[in-house]
Amino acid sequence: MSIITANRTTTLDDNGLFPSNEVMLDLKNLKKVYPTPKGDYVVLEDLNLQIRKEEFVTIIGHSGCGKTTMLSMIAGLNDISGGNISVLGKHIKGPGPDRGVIFQSPSLMPWMTALQNVLLGVNQVFPDATKAQRNDIAKYYLQKVGLEDAFNKRASELSQGMQQRVGIARAFAIKPKVLLLDEPFGMLDSLTRGELQDILIEIWNKEKITAVMITHDVDEAIFLADRVVMMTSGPKAKIGDILSIDFERPRTRKSVLEHDDYYKYRKHLIDFLEH
Question: pLDDT for 43-84, tens place per residue?
Answer: 999 999 999 999 999 999 998 899 999 999 999 999 999 999
pTM of structure: 0.91
What kind of fold does domain 55-76+92-98+176-232+240-274 have according to CATH?
Rossmann fold (3.40.50)
pLDDT for residue 1 is more than 90: no
Comparing CA positions, the residue from 226, 234, 230 lying closest to residue 242 is 230
Residue 7: predicted pLDDT: 39
Percent over 90 (pLDDT), the chain: 88
What are the beta bridge partners of residue 86? 26, 91
Where in the chain are the domains? 55-76+92-98+176-232+240-274
Using pLDDT thresholds of 50, 70 and 90, give the confidence band for residue 106: confident
Work out the burial of residue 209: count CB atoms within 10 Å of its CB; fewer than 13 is exposed, 13-18 middle, 19 or more buried: buried
Q: How many DSSP H helices and E strands does the chain contain?
A: 8, 12
What separation, in Å, do the N-terminal and C-terminal C-alpha atoms of the chain show? Answer: 29
> Nearest Cα to 251, choosing from 178, 202, 209?
202
Mean pLDDT calculated for residue range 244-255: 92
The amino acid at residue 90 is K
Average pLDDT, the chain: 92
The per-residue pLDDT for 204 is: 95
